[in-house]
Protein backbone atom coordinates (compact mmCIF):
# COMPACT_ATOMS: atom_id res chain seq x y z
CA UNK A 1 0.00 0.00 0.00
CA UNK A 2 1.45 3.35 -0.99
CA UNK A 3 1.93 6.16 1.50
CA UNK A 4 -0.86 8.20 -0.12
CA UNK A 5 -3.28 5.24 -0.04
CA UNK A 6 -2.38 4.47 3.58
CA UNK A 7 -3.22 8.02 4.67
CA UNK A 8 -6.23 8.72 2.46
CA UNK A 9 -9.20 10.38 4.18
CA UNK A 10 -11.49 7.48 3.20
CA UNK A 11 -9.15 4.92 4.76
CA UNK A 12 -8.77 7.08 7.87
CA UNK A 13 -12.57 7.31 8.22
CA UNK A 14 -12.92 3.57 7.71
CA UNK A 15 -10.30 2.82 10.36
CA UNK A 16 -11.89 5.29 12.78
CA UNK A 17 -15.25 3.57 12.27
CA UNK A 18 -13.69 0.16 12.91
CA UNK A 19 -11.82 1.24 16.02
CA UNK A 20 -14.92 3.01 17.38
CA UNK A 21 -16.97 -0.18 16.88
CA UNK A 22 -14.25 -2.23 18.59
CA UNK A 23 -14.08 0.17 21.55
CA UNK A 24 -17.87 0.24 21.87
CA UNK A 25 -18.07 -3.56 21.78
CA UNK A 26 -15.27 -4.02 24.31
CA UNK A 27 -16.59 -1.42 26.78
CA UNK A 28 -20.22 -2.60 26.52
CA UNK A 29 -19.16 -6.23 27.00
CA UNK A 30 -17.00 -5.50 30.04
CA UNK A 31 -19.63 -3.22 31.64
CA UNK A 32 -22.31 -5.87 31.26
CA UNK A 33 -20.04 -8.56 32.69
CA UNK A 34 -19.20 -6.25 35.59
CA UNK A 35 -22.94 -5.80 36.21
CA UNK A 36 -23.53 -9.57 36.12
CA UNK A 37 -20.74 -10.23 38.62
CA UNK A 38 -21.09 -7.16 40.83
CA UNK A 39 -24.61 -5.77 40.72
CA UNK A 40 -26.53 -8.99 40.13
CA UNK A 41 -24.08 -11.19 42.07
CA UNK A 42 -24.75 -13.83 39.42
CA UNK A 43 -21.89 -16.16 40.49
CA UNK A 44 -23.66 -16.58 43.85
CA UNK A 45 -27.29 -16.46 42.62
CA UNK A 46 -26.49 -18.69 39.62
CA UNK A 47 -29.64 -17.71 37.72
CA UNK A 48 -31.99 -14.75 37.41
CA UNK A 49 -35.19 -15.22 35.42
CA UNK A 50 -35.72 -12.19 33.20
CA UNK A 51 -38.58 -13.18 30.87
CA UNK A 52 -40.11 -16.61 30.14
CA UNK A 53 -37.57 -17.40 27.40
CA UNK A 54 -34.48 -15.58 28.66
CA UNK A 55 -32.49 -15.88 31.89
CA UNK A 56 -29.21 -14.63 33.19
CA UNK A 57 -27.40 -17.87 34.05
CA UNK A 58 -23.84 -17.97 35.37
CA UNK A 59 -21.36 -19.99 33.31
CA UNK A 60 -17.58 -20.05 33.35
CA UNK A 61 -16.48 -20.93 29.81
CA UNK A 62 -12.98 -22.37 29.90
CA UNK A 63 -13.06 -23.28 26.21
CA UNK A 64 -13.80 -21.43 23.00
CA UNK A 65 -17.00 -21.34 20.96
CA UNK A 66 -19.53 -23.96 22.00
CA UNK A 67 -17.24 -25.00 24.85
CA UNK A 68 -14.75 -26.57 22.42
CA UNK A 69 -11.05 -26.83 23.29
CA UNK A 70 -11.67 -26.62 27.03
CA UNK A 71 -8.55 -25.51 28.89
CA UNK A 72 -7.93 -27.90 31.77
CA UNK A 73 -4.59 -26.39 32.81
CA UNK A 74 -2.82 -23.04 32.94
CA UNK A 75 -0.73 -23.99 29.92
CA UNK A 76 -3.89 -24.74 27.92
CA UNK A 77 -5.46 -21.49 29.13
CA UNK A 78 -2.50 -19.46 27.89
CA UNK A 79 -2.46 -21.44 24.65
CA UNK A 80 -6.09 -20.37 24.13
CA UNK A 81 -5.14 -16.79 24.93
CA UNK A 82 -2.36 -17.01 22.34
CA UNK A 83 -4.58 -18.64 19.72
CA UNK A 84 -7.45 -16.18 20.15
CA UNK A 85 -4.95 -13.32 20.33
CA UNK A 86 -3.48 -14.40 16.98
CA UNK A 87 -6.95 -14.47 15.47
CA UNK A 88 -7.67 -10.99 16.90
CA UNK A 89 -4.38 -9.77 15.42
CA UNK A 90 -5.46 -11.11 12.02
CA UNK A 91 -8.76 -9.24 12.34
CA UNK A 92 -6.83 -6.07 13.27
CA UNK A 93 -4.60 -6.37 10.18
CA UNK A 94 -7.70 -6.87 8.01
CA UNK A 95 -9.34 -3.82 9.61
CA UNK A 96 -6.23 -1.71 8.94
CA UNK A 97 -6.24 -2.70 5.25
CA UNK A 98 -9.99 -2.40 4.67
CA UNK A 99 -11.36 0.80 3.12
CA UNK A 100 -15.08 -0.01 3.30
CA UNK A 101 -16.65 1.52 6.43
CA UNK A 102 -19.36 -1.15 6.73
CA UNK A 103 -16.70 -3.84 6.68
CA UNK A 104 -14.48 -2.02 9.18
CA UNK A 105 -17.48 -1.58 11.49
CA UNK A 106 -18.17 -5.33 11.27
CA UNK A 107 -14.48 -6.12 11.81
CA UNK A 108 -14.51 -3.75 14.79
CA UNK A 109 -17.39 -5.70 16.34
CA UNK A 110 -15.45 -8.94 15.90
CA UNK A 111 -12.25 -7.39 17.29
CA UNK A 112 -13.96 -5.77 20.30
CA UNK A 113 -15.81 -8.97 21.15
CA UNK A 114 -12.66 -11.04 20.84
CA UNK A 115 -10.72 -8.63 23.06
CA UNK A 116 -13.50 -8.74 25.68
CA UNK A 117 -13.32 -12.53 25.87
CA UNK A 118 -9.50 -12.52 25.83
CA UNK A 119 -9.49 -10.00 28.69
CA UNK A 120 -11.76 -12.32 30.74
CA UNK A 121 -9.52 -15.31 30.09
CA UNK A 122 -6.40 -13.35 31.09
CA UNK A 123 -7.96 -11.83 34.25
CA UNK A 124 -10.16 -14.69 35.43
CA UNK A 125 -8.98 -17.85 33.69
CA UNK A 126 -12.36 -18.26 31.97
CA UNK A 127 -14.83 -16.29 29.87
CA UNK A 128 -17.89 -14.99 31.72
CA UNK A 129 -21.09 -16.21 30.02
CA UNK A 130 -24.58 -15.34 31.23
CA UNK A 131 -27.12 -14.94 28.39
CA UNK A 132 -29.43 -17.96 28.40
CA UNK A 133 -31.98 -17.97 25.58
CA UNK A 134 -34.40 -20.90 25.82
CA UNK A 135 -37.83 -22.04 24.73
CA UNK A 136 -38.96 -24.44 27.40
CA UNK A 137 -36.15 -26.95 27.72
CA UNK A 138 -34.85 -26.26 24.21
CA UNK A 139 -31.81 -24.00 23.98
CA UNK A 140 -30.86 -22.97 20.44
CA UNK A 141 -27.50 -21.68 21.75
CA UNK A 142 -25.15 -22.42 24.57
CA UNK A 143 -25.06 -19.75 27.26
CA UNK A 144 -23.21 -16.78 25.75
CA UNK A 145 -22.27 -13.16 26.42
CA UNK A 146 -22.41 -9.80 24.66
CA UNK A 147 -18.91 -10.26 23.21
CA UNK A 148 -20.09 -13.47 21.52
CA UNK A 149 -23.09 -11.60 20.11
CA UNK A 150 -20.83 -8.84 18.74
CA UNK A 151 -18.52 -11.40 17.13
CA UNK A 152 -21.48 -13.23 15.57
CA UNK A 153 -23.08 -10.03 14.27
CA UNK A 154 -19.78 -8.86 12.79
CA UNK A 155 -19.22 -12.17 11.00
CA UNK A 156 -22.81 -12.24 9.70
CA UNK A 157 -22.44 -8.67 8.36
CA UNK A 158 -19.18 -9.58 6.60
CA UNK A 159 -20.70 -12.72 5.10
CA UNK A 160 -23.85 -10.91 3.97
CA UNK A 161 -21.84 -8.09 2.38
CA UNK A 162 -19.58 -10.62 0.68
CA UNK A 163 -22.48 -12.67 -0.67
CA UNK A 164 -25.02 -9.97 -1.52
CA UNK A 165 -23.14 -6.76 -2.27
CA UNK A 166 -23.11 -5.60 -5.86
CA UNK A 167 -19.42 -4.73 -5.62
CA UNK A 168 -17.30 -6.73 -7.99
CA UNK A 169 -13.60 -7.34 -7.62
CA UNK A 170 -11.53 -5.90 -10.46
CA UNK A 171 -10.64 -8.40 -13.17
CA UNK A 172 -6.83 -8.33 -13.54
CA UNK A 173 -7.11 -9.87 -17.02
CA UNK A 174 -9.50 -7.21 -18.34
CA UNK A 175 -6.79 -4.73 -19.30
CA UNK A 176 -4.13 -7.32 -20.16
CA UNK A 177 -2.81 -7.43 -23.70
CA UNK A 178 -4.54 -10.09 -25.77
CA UNK A 179 -2.58 -13.21 -26.51
CA UNK A 180 -2.66 -14.32 -30.14
CA UNK A 181 -1.28 -17.86 -30.36
CA UNK A 182 -1.32 -17.94 -34.19
CA UNK A 183 0.38 -14.63 -34.82
CA UNK A 184 3.18 -14.78 -37.35
CA UNK A 185 6.65 -14.07 -36.01
CA UNK A 186 8.05 -10.69 -36.88
CA UNK A 187 10.89 -10.52 -39.40
- Measured CA to CA, the distance from residue 125 to residue 62 in angstroms comes to 7
- Measured CA to CA, the distance from residue 128 to residue 98 in angstroms comes to 31
Is 101:13 a contact under the CB 8 Å cutoff? yes
H-only helix segments in the chain: 3-6, 9-34, 42-45, 74-97, 101-124, 146-164
List, for residues 62-110, the tens digit of each pLDDT value.
877 666 667 778 888 898 899 999 999 999 999 999 999 999 999 999 9
List, for residues 122-144, the tens digit of each pLDDT value.
999 999 999 999 998 888 888 99
CA distances from 109 to 17, 43, 120, 121, 125 (A): 10, 27, 17, 19, 23
Would you tell me how many other CB atoms lie within 10 Å of the CB of residue 21? 23
∠ CA 125-126-132, nearest 5°, is: 165
Which residue in the list 29, 129, 132, 175 is annotated as catalytic? 129
Catalytic (active site) residue 129: yes
Catalytic (active site) residue 171: no
**Which pTM does this prediction carry?**
0.81
Amino acid sequence: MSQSAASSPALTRARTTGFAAAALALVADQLLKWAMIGLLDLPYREQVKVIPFFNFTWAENRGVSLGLLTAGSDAQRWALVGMTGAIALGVLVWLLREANRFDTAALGLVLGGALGNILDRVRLGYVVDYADLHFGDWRPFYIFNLADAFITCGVVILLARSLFSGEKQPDPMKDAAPINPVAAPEK
